[in-house]
């Protein structure tokens, strides 16, 4: 029996339904989207009958055409593009001026015929076979996710929970790569409740929809191995190691490989995979991409750290920047706003 036949047998015994997966993107994040799609097609071992949904928050006609061209590389998959009514997300705390990160909360209504789905962020390079995720059982839970590498615990980002309560020490998940039990979310009103919290109490949603989702899904999350959603914001020594290629590399934080040039090996890897799987790196024609070119690697690492925005706010609030030579107030003001 060939490896492909073994995969088909495994899928038939563990999950007979074809894969359902969803991305969300606008024009600015399109380079991330097209590489995410291309890497899924290249590295997923069984896509027979798969339905790939793209939640369109402002893609151009040419970008949609390019996506369709990439999807045609695998005749077994169907690409479905859904134009979003962004007005449904009014009132939420924005991420870099956009409400698109909340689009995953619309999935239960957008896809009434789907009972489960993999939600995939577009700032992830998918080197891990997603068949493994699709075959993983919910085991009575309503979401599968990886623990957030930086927030870690509910106590660090759950404003609706007493930080001293025992539940506050429970793990906190990153929402970038999820397998969602849509039937359970509809039954329990999970997405609707999360969106209501995000719209009525936006000031509490430090990490956008991820904050209310963690509050509502406490005790309902089945935990995945880190390689399904390996989160990094700076360079990693693993970037050039063989095991690096078996992880879904999640480029969290304000700096994205297609928006900012970086000397970091993990960013170089993303650019290399873009050339391999997509083609000519046209994202480099954006002048903003080169704005950080002259920065040394150590400074790029600091600015891409999740600690950089709160550090900037602290220095501005205390006036510490006035006694440290070479610290620019304008840089601090921009950095203070860089996490939303």
The pLDDT value recorded for residue 8 is 43
**Domains of the chain, start order:** 3-228 (3.90.550.10), 307-340 (no CATH)
Is it the case that residue 49 has pLDDT exceeding 70?
yes
Question: Hey, what are 297's tokens?
Answer: 């690697």
CA angle, 309 as apex, 296 and 268 as ends, to 5°? 35
pLDDT bin (cut points 50, 70, 90) of residue 300 is: low
Mean pLDDT of 23-40: 98
Give the tens place of pLDDT for each residue, 166-208.
999 999 999 999 999 999 999 999 999 999 999 999 999 999 9
d(CA 45, CA 100): 29
Provide, rounded to the nearest whole percent, the portion of the chain with pLDDT above 90: 70
- Quickly tell me which residue has 């495994």 as its tokens: 10
Mean pLDDT of 151-167: 96
Rounding to the nearest 10 degrees, give the CA dihedral for residues 66, 35, 137, 230: -160
Mean pLDDT of 291-316: 71
The pLDDT value recorded for residue 227 is 95
- Quickly tell me which residue has 């997509």 as its tokens: 278
pLDDT bin (cut points 50, 70, 90) of residue 329 is: confident
Give the tens place of pLDDT for each residue, 233-275.
654 555 445 556 679 999 998 889 999 888 778 888 999 999 9
Q: Would you call 51 helix, strand, or coil by DSSP? A: strand
């Amino acid at each position: 029996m060939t490896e492909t036949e073994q995969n088909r047998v495994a899928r038939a015994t563990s999950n007979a339904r074809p894969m359902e997966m969803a991305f969300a993107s606008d024009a600015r994040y399109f380079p991330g989207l097209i590489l995410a799609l291309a890497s899924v097609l290249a590295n997923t071992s069984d896509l027979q009958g798969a339905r790939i949904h793209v939640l369109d928050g402002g893609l151009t006609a040419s970008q949609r055409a390019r996506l369709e061209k990439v999807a045609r590389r695998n005749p077994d998959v169907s690409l479905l593009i859904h134009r979003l009514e962004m007005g449904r997300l009014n009132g939420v705390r924005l991420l870099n001026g956009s409400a698109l990160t909340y689009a995953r909360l619309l999935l239960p209504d957008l896809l009434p015929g789907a009972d489960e789905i993999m939600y995939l962020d577009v700032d992830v390079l998918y080197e891990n076979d997603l068949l493994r995720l699709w075959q993983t059982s919910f085991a009575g839970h309503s979401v599968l996710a990886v623990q957030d590498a930086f927030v870690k615990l509910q106590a660090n980002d759950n404003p609706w929970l007493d930080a001293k309560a025992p539940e506050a020490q429970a793990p906190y998940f990153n929402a970038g790569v999820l397998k969602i039990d849509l039937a359970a979310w509809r039954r329990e009103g999970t997405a609707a409740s999360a969106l209501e919290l995000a719209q009525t109490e936006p000031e509490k949603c430090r990490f956008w929809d991820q904050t209310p989702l963690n509050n509502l899904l406490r005790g309902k999350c089945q935990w995945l191995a880190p390689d399904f959603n390996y989160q990094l914001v700076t360079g990693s020594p693993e970037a050039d190691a063989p095991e690096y290629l078996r992880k879904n590399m999640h480029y969290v934080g304000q700096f994205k490989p297609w928006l900012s040039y970086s000397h970091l090996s993990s960013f170089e890897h993303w650019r290399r995979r873009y050339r391999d799987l997509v083609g000519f790196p046209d994202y480099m024609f954006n002048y903003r991409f080169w704005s950080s070119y002259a920065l040394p690697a150590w400074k790029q690492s600091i600015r891409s750290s999740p600690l950089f925005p709160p550090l900037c706010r602290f220095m501005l609030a205390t006036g510490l920047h006035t006694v440290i030579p070479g610290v620019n107030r304008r840089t601090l003001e921009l950095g203070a706003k860089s996490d939303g």
